[in-house]
Structure 1
Amino acid sequence: MEHRFISKKHSQNIDTVMFELPADLKQDKNIIDLSIGVPDFITPKVIIERAMQDAMNGHTKYTEPKGDPEFIREIIKFYDHEYNYNFTEKEVMAVVGACHGMYLVLEAIIDEGDEVIIHEPYFTPYKEQIKLVGGKTVILKTVEEDNFSINIDKLKALITKKTKAIILNSPNNPTGAFFDKELLNEIAKVAIENDLIIISDEVYDSFTYKEKFLPIASIPGMKERTITIGSFSKGYAMTGWRIGYVIATDYIIECIKNINENMCYSAPSISQRAALHALRLREKVQPRIINEVKKRIFYSYERINKIKGLSVLPPKGSIYHFINIKGTGMSSVEFSKMIAEKTKVILIPGTAFGDSGEGYVRIACIVGVEKLKEAFDRIEKVL
């Protein structure tokens, strides 16, 4: 959109909405929306109650710029207990969700023209955020035949003198790919040999179905060159609280703290209290969420592979399926539009996640099995 009141750098800005619901369907009560990754769970009641009690007790003011010290210490305890990975209070900061954390990190480390490698299909905002900070996106394509995993030789071939960082996202949105310990060790070796930074988006660390999640920062030699981004949105059903964190070396945390003081100063105090209680109560509140998502994921996997023209890989992680629709003969956009119009089931075209997403659509398992059954019944009928 060009206008004299819009800066030239944003006059051709790309809308990052992954799928625009047709206007005539927005008010339809029969819609089953499997597009955006917002599960139908309400934040566990005990988390809400304790956060609200904290608010009543006075936790309604700004926290320290890096976060509520009590919350920060709870994050440190979590990583020590779950992954035997240790860091200090100077190496972690509360942020307003993972996207905010990613932007702050990129702003802190990227100079004009620096290259950042992202594996495609990718979480849509990565590319635009890299552009906003003056960096250049370099695409590493992954393919279904390799389980959408990273090919190390292809990764090495993309590295130049301008390469500054690699963004990893495992478990992956949109493909559900999971990078095991062996692959992470290979990526770590590449990062060390080429003096690169790894930005590890670990939003879906709670949702793994084959192997236990491993933070790449915990691999020997990687702590000083890894920036970890975490979130409470999915694993604790806290999307609306907008709370996450960044773990990095102290000088990077200090830098993003200084940048953020000119943006929003600190993450919301009440949200930090809620996240603190989520961590303390995780053994009580998380199993129900994770088990329900797992039930939905595996039910969907079975149903998808029984529908003519569709197929999907066995679940490894995340809350998504990246469905191969090539057997239908339609493009990703054509298929998504047809399904929306004929079945009132909303999917996201794979091309929203990069060019190599053509021939695929993404669904988010954000509704219960009964509703998923209805969605797949409708899709099966029209196919």
Structure 2
Amino acid sequence: MRNRFLAETYRRQTTNALGSAAKKIGDPELINLSIGDPDFVTPQEIIDEAFIQAGQGHTKYTKPSGDPQLVTAIRGFLKEEYQAHIEQDEIMVTVGACHAMYVAMSAILDEGDEVIVPDPYFVPYYDQVTMAGGKFVPLETNFEEGFQLDLEALEKKISSRTKAILINSPNNPTGAVYDRTTLEKLGKIAQKHSIIVLSDEVYEAISFGQKHVSVLEIADLKDRSIVFGSFSKSYAMTGWRIGYAIAPEYVISTMVHINESICFSAPSISQRAALSALRQRHALQPSLVAAFEERMVYGYRRIVATGILDVLRPKGGIYLFVDIRKTKLGSEVFAARLLEEKKVLVLPGNVFGEAGEGFVRIAVTVDLEKLKIAFDRIEEFIKTTGD
């Protein structure tokens, strides 16, 4: 009976992997390495300033495109970091980067338009594309090639209905990082075929050993890209739900128009907190990035030391995409048994696309003490996989 009242699209709804993992949290012995919600608390300086700003009256709607002071601060950050000259009307502040992406997809996709996405991919991408009426087209990448873009294979995927390619660097889940040469070649392809590049850069600050390269630095992509940013991981502000999109003015104005019928504007207090974060980023961000790097390197060393598991050397982000193929277990069986037998929660790689089969994703969202316990348990577990 109740299905009568649901849209046909959702009558056979399934919870995505992130939602399923969240339901398993609560066991005190469980070590949760599944969801990308780090244990860090937002720096006190940001919290204190947000309270002050609320007391000063910043509790009302802002402009639909965002608090003008925050937009100006984002422009300043982009100019300082990437020498990108972005206008005030080319930025929209959103309720996190996923919200920005949903509104952007709604703005650019007609029914049946294709979006090419490197596989493995962040789980919500599929829904983001299809909910906007688009067709999701996976582009396989592999461990042996560092999960890098195969640009020749990409060009073969382009059809008359291709509207965009969606990239993510540093990548969730694989940890792959795209260099300037790759992005410049991608820019040439985008120009040649007149397609948009959607660039999810939410982990841009969490880069190790090399500076992040943004599509905003690539000349061929300046007028045909939509970039998504976030304060969630780089400032430990996941619960504040604040992100932004950067795009040509006509795209931003369309996104703003669409969002006026969704949530009008991002929360004003969160926007003031984000403004505080940007103003203090040189003081607050380095220690956070260093802590993530320490955890990533520790995890990498523990994984390769097993001689059975493998993983790419960390270059950025907060995820280790672990090659488990030598255990002879599938991704879902490995993750299920690890949870049942050792109470360590990871995500099976196949939830991130077909190319993720044979892998599991570990989020370094707990401290080193808990990571040590988790990897001790993982080592004990893989010794039993040959039984």
TM-score relative to the length of structure 2: 0.97
Runs of at least 5 residues in structure 1 that lack an aligned partner in the other structure: none
SS in 1 for 2:35: coil
State the number of aligned residues: 382
Q: Provide the rounded CA distance (Å) in 2 between the counterparts of 1:48 and 1:22.
A: 26
SS in 1 for 2:309: coil
Q: Which moved more, 1:72-81 or 1:300-309?
A: 300-309
Deviation of 1:12 (Å): 2.6
Check 1:6–1:327 CA distance in 2 against 1; reply closer, same or farther (3 A cut).
same
Partner residue in 1 for 2:202? 203
SS in 1 for 2:300: helix
Check 1:165–1:46 CA distance in 2 against 1; reply closer, same or farther (3 A cut).
same
Deviation string, structure 1 residues 76-108 (Cα, Å, up to 9, x no partner): 000001111111101001000000000000000
Deviation string, structure 1 residues 4-49 (Cα, Å, up to 9, x no partner): 01011221334223363597x6432111100000110000000000
Q: Provide the rounded CA distance (Å) in 1 between the counterparts of 2:163 and 2:349.
A: 27
SS in 1 for 2:208: coil
Matched, 1:166 2:165: yes
Partner residue in 1 for 2:84? 85
Partner residue in 2 for 1:5? 5
Matches within 5 A, 1:1-383: 3-18=3-18, 20-21=20-21, 26-383=25-382
8 A contact 2:228–2:246 mirrored in 1? yes
Deviation string, structure 1 residues 327-352 (Cα, Å, up to 9, x no partner): 11100000001110111110000011
SS in 1 for 2:17: coil
Structure 1 residue runs of 4 or more that deviate by more than 6 Å after TM superposition = none
Deviation of 1:313 (Å): 1.1
Deviation of 1:55 (Å): 0.2
SS in 1 for 2:310: coil
Q: Provide the rounded CA distance (Å) in 2 between the counterparts of 1:47 and 1:103.
A: 27
Check 1:22–1:369 CA distance in 2 against 1; reply closer, same or farther (3 A cut).
closer
Deviation of 1:222 (Å): 1.4
Deviation of 1:128 (Å): 1.1
Match of 1:326, as an amino acid?
A: R
8 A contact 1:19–1:352 mirrored in 2? no
8 A contact 2:82–2:216 mirrored in 1? no
SS in 1 for 2:5: coil
Match of 1:174, as an amino acid?
A: P
SS in 2 for 1:138: strand
8 A contact 1:19–1:35 mirrored in 2? no
SS in 2 for 1:140: strand
Q: Provide the rounded CA distance (Å) in 1 between the counterparts of 2:304 and 2:171.
A: 20
8 A contact 2:116–2:136 mirrored in 1? yes
SS in 2 for 1:224: coil
Deviation of 1:193 (Å): 0.6
Q: Provide the rounded CA distance (Å) in 1 between the counterparts of 2:289 and 2:25.
A: 29
Q: Provide the rounded CA distance (Å) in 2 between the counterparts of 1:91 and 1:188.
A: 20
Q: Provide the rounded CA distance (Å) in 2 between the counterparts of 1:227 and 1:26.
A: 35
Q: Provide the rounded CA distance (Å) in 1 between the counterparts of 2:307 and 2:313.
A: 17
Q: Provide the rounded CA distance (Å) in 2 between the counterparts of 1:56 and 1:212.
A: 38
Q: Which moved more, 1:308-317 or 1:129-138?
A: 308-317
Runs of at least 5 residues in structure 2 that lack an aligned partner in the other structure: 383-387
Q: Provide the rounded CA distance (Å) in 2 between the counterparts of 1:8 and 1:19.
A: 21
